[in-house]
Amino acid sequence: MLRKLLLTAALLGAAAAVAGLGTFATFTSAASAVQGNLTSGTVTIQLGAVGTANRLTTGATGVLPGDTIQRAVDLINSGDSALASATLTTTAAPSNLLSTDGTNGLQLVIDKCSVAWTEANAPNYTYTCGGTTTTVLASRSVIGANVALSNLGSLVAGVTDHLRVTLSFPTTAPNTMQTLTTQITFAFTGTQRAGTSK
């Protein structure tokens, strides 16, 4: 029993000696700088809540050539970063002549109002602008990918654009386009500003 204890003591001694040598090994000098927080930004755009700030979710039935469908939607930059651009991509399901016929199918126009659109005639909504109207997207066929949008204020963080999406069914539409149903998905995409010095 005694022998075992002495061995333990010897081992401890050896360990202590090694530690002692280590502390005198090399001279060094260190200098530190602590940087302030580095925080990344967010790029977030969103549409208004379903209701007066987003009527895009409302469909229409019995649409005949010459009809127009107006829907208001708010586009909100809710991130903390400026955008270089916002684009619109539209898709249709199911796909049929209403969306695929670029001439006689649905046509899309987007305007914005400097204040919230004044809504009337629910559920066949129509809108008037109490402020200034500008064109965001000139008339084109309804389906498009990464279509550039103009005159948006919501490229700036915190700003909301009051948009009015108008779909029109051309009077040139042939009878083959009767009783068709489609559903259009509107996807707005905001892309960050270019890199800069920070």
Q: Give residues in contact with other proteins (CB under 8 A).
A: 1-2, 5, 9, 26-43, 80-81, 191-198
Are 112 and 129 spatial neighbours (Cβ–Cβ below 8 Å)? no
- Positive or negative, the CA dihedral 157, 54, 133, 92 is positive
**What is the distance between the alpha carbons of residues 178 and 62, in angstroms, rounded to a whole number?**
9
Q: Is the peptide bond before 94 cis (omega within 30 degrees of 0)?
A: yes
Q: Which tokens hold the place of 160? A: 């909301």
Closest CB 57 distance from other proteins, rounded Å = 24
Identify which of residues 44 and 58 has a Cβ nearer to other proteins in the complex. 44
**What is the distance between the alpha carbons of residues 175 and 177, in angstroms, rounded to a whole number?**
5
- 118-120 and 83-93: which strand pairing? unpaired
Identify which of residues 138 and 193 has a Cβ nearer to other proteins in the complex. 193
Closest CB 38 distance from other proteins, rounded Å = 5
Identify which of residues 11 and 179 has a Cβ nearer to other proteins in the complex. 11
Identify which of residues 23 and 29 has a Cβ nearer to other proteins in the complex. 29
Q: Which residues contact 91 (CB under 8 A, 6 or more apart)?
A: 143, 184, 185, 187
Closest CB 21 distance from other proteins, rounded Å = 14
Closest CB 77 distance from other proteins, rounded Å = 13
Identify which of residues 118 and 185 has a Cβ nearer to other proteins in the complex. 185
Closest CB 111 distance from other proteins, rounded Å = 28
Short-list 25, 28, 163, CA closest to 86:
163
